[in-house]
């Protein structure tokens, strides 16, 4: 027998979401337990700040540029370059995915993609090398096993969820993408993911080796947890440390960044890639933000309860003693930093930095590692746990287990899914600096969706970049990244050296490139 792998992911969860990372509001005892018994990577980063590219990197061990899913709406080819295929072939692992996948576009009215047909066809795999698959998206949105189960078994709760990606106001304050959801906790998708995970584990023999990806859809918007799970009153929620504190201060900070930052804040740029296209951040009230954050805390707590349920089941089965647990997310959330919300082409800690914890099967004293690591390092780590060689295509390194281990800087890339926007960012992150190069605007590779293009154009002039713009932040002395040093003469040498390192570190692009097939 070898070591099992329980890979637990959330969706759009900030690096500071757990108690072990300093969160004083959310109760996350089970995530905190993983940190006490394992390794917490304090400076872990995603390689792309939206769902599909990041999830494809987790699965393949390739940078988004190389696997080709450089933006949402691009389907990942199932060409064998995935950790499930490798572990099955090399070590006979059983494999399963419970929860959110998003390897294929979710906006799929004609159900062209297998991901969106499985529930209606009564299929549970195999798919992408997973022997068994049960999918959940965000509530009853989309076509998933959870949505079908809710519609058939508990139709009275379908309308309690908020719609996704259209910014409908809700909750107590009229905040976008929120709802006061009366659904009981035991029927919410976090509990459903845990219950279906337990059910699959009951099919596993004591001497089977398994790779189990448990993928929670929260705390990604819409923010609509069960009302009974919300513990904090809005008045008790402070504005986050990265919040500017006022509209005037937000404008002052954003004026020092490339144009699309301030344009989005003021409603002159429609950030359709990160949230509802009609959302104007400057219109978000402080009380609305507090309600959203209170709901996010509730969602994080429900995920943690479900995690505890799964860990408890493994312990009762005697399986936890030979199961490595890795906990992370696909990308972060602005959550009020800079006066902004959701995500998009904004390469700062709010979106790039993520929680990452590795609890080995044999627990270790709590260890924190500061070296920069990223999603591309997961596949080599899974291989190290399974004691198999790393696949020849993988581009990362196994996560460090000693604080003294040196690591290369992290590369984060952004390519707009919309031809009309044509924005391309390349970022290098090391133990002190974040340097982002804005490449020349190029609209030759994105998708075309006339309604969204009209909406984006109706907001104002879409920013055009000539390749000289960028961002440079000193993470030690400016942790909230309010001061862009890109044009500061005193930092010209630092900028030049970082750009040289960035250009040398960029992974090779996929040829021919994959193209977007849907908006999300």
Bridge partners (DSSP) of residue 357 are 40, 327
Residue 102 CA to residue 414 CA, distance in Å, equals 18
CB-based contact 362:4 (threshold 8 Å)? no
Domain ranges within the chain, ordered by starting residue: 4-505
Helix, strand, coil share (%) of the chain residues, nearest 5:
35, 15, 50
For the domain made up of 4-505, give the CATH fold: Alkaline Phosphatase, subunit A (3.40.720)
Which run of H or of E encompasses 223? none
At residue 301, what are phi and psi to the nearest 5 degrees?
Answer: -70, -35
| Token pair of 436 as six digits | 């982002």
Nearest CA among 166, 159, 165, 164 for reference residue 180? 159
The pLDDT of residue 445 is 81
Instruction: Dump the DSSP string for 64-118.
Output: HHHHS--STT-PPP-SS-SHHHHHHHHH--EEEEEE---SS-S--TT--SHHHHH
Tokens 């699965």 correspond to 59
The pLDDT of residue 444 is 83
Q: What is the pLDDT along the chain (520 residues), one digit of tens a residue?
A: 899 999 999 999 999 999 999 999 999 999 999 999 999 999 999 999 999 999 999 999 999 999 999 999 999 999 999 999 999 999 999 999 999 999 999 988 889 999 999 999 999 999 999 999 999 999 998 789 999 999 999 999 999 999 998 999 999 999 999 999 999 999 999 999 999 999 999 999 999 999 999 999 999 999 999 999 999 999 999 999 999 999 999 999 999 999 999 999 999 999 999 899 999 999 999 999 999 999 999 999 999 999 999 999 999 999 999 999 999 999 999 999 999 999 999 999 999 999 999 999 999 899 999 999 999 999 999 999 999 999 999 999 999 999 999 999 999 999 999 998 999 999 999 999 999 999 999 988 888 877 777 777 777 788 999 999 999 999 999 999 999 999 999 999 999 999 999 999 999 999 999 999 988 8
């Amino acid at each position: 027998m070898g070591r099992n792998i329980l890979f637990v992911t959330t969706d759009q969860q900030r690096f500071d979401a757990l108690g072990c990372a300093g969160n004083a509001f959310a109760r996350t005892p089970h995530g905190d337990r993983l940190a006490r018994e394992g390794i917490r990577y304090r400076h872990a980063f995603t390689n792309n700040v939206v769902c599909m590219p990041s999830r494809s990197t987790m699965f393949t061990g390739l940078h988004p540029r190389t696997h080709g899913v450089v933006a949402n709406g691009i389907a990942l080819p199932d060409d064998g370059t995935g950790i499930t295929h490798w572990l099955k072939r090399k070590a006979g692992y059983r494999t399963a995915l419970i929860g959110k996948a998003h390897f294929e576009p979710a906006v799929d009215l004609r159900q062209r993609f297998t991901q969106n047909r499985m529930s209606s066809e009564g299929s549970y795999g195999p798919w992408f090398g997973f022997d068994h698959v049960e999918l959940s998206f965000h509530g009853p949105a989309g076509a998933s096993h959870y949505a079908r189960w809710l519609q058939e078994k508990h139709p009275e709760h379908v309308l309690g969820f908020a719609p996704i990606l259209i910014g409908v106001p809700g909750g107590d304050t009229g905040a976008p993408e929120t709802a006061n959801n009366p659904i009981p906790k035991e029927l919410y998708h976090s509990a459903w993911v845990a219950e279906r995970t337990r059910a699959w584990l009951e099919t596993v023999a004591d001497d089977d080796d398994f790779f189990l990806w448990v993928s929670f859809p929260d705390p990604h918007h819409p923010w609509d947890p069960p009302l009974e799970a919300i513990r904090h009153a809005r008045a008790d929620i402070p504005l986050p440390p990265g919040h500017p504190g006022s509209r005037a201060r937000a404008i002052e900070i954003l004026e020092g960044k490339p144009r699309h930052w301030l344009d989005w804040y003021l409603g002159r740029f429609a950030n359709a890639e990160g949230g509802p296209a009609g959302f104007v951040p400057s219109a978000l009230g402080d009380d609305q933000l507090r309600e959203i954050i209170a709901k996010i805390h509730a969602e994080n707590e429900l995920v943690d309860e479900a995690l505890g349920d799964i860990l408890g089941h493994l312990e009762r089965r005697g399986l936890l003693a030979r199961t490595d647990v890795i906990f992370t997310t696909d990308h972060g959330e602005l959550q009020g930093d800079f006066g902004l919300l959701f995500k998009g082409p904004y390469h700062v800690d709010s979106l790039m930095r993520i929680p990452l914890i590795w609890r080995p099967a044999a627990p270790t004293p709590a260890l924190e590692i500061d070296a920069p690591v990223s999603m591309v390092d997961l596949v080599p780590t899974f291989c190290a746990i399974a004691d198999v060689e790393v696949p020849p295509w993988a581009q990362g390194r196994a996560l460090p287990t000693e604080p003294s281990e040196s690591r290369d800087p992290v590369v984060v890339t952004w390519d707009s899914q919309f031809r009309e926007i044509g924005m391309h960012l390349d970022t290098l992150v090391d133990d002190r600096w974040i340097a982002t190069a804005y490449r020349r605007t190029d609209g030759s590779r994105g998708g075309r969706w006339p309604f969204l293009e009209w909406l984006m154009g109706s907001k104002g002039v879409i920013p055009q970049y000539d390749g000289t713009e960028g961002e440079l932040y000193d993470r030690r002395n400016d942790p909230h990244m309010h001061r862009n040093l890109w044009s500061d003469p005193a930092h010209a040498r630092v900028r030049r050296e970082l750009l040289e390192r960035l250009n040398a570190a960029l992974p090779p692009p996929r040829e021919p490139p994959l193209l977007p097939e849907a908006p999300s």
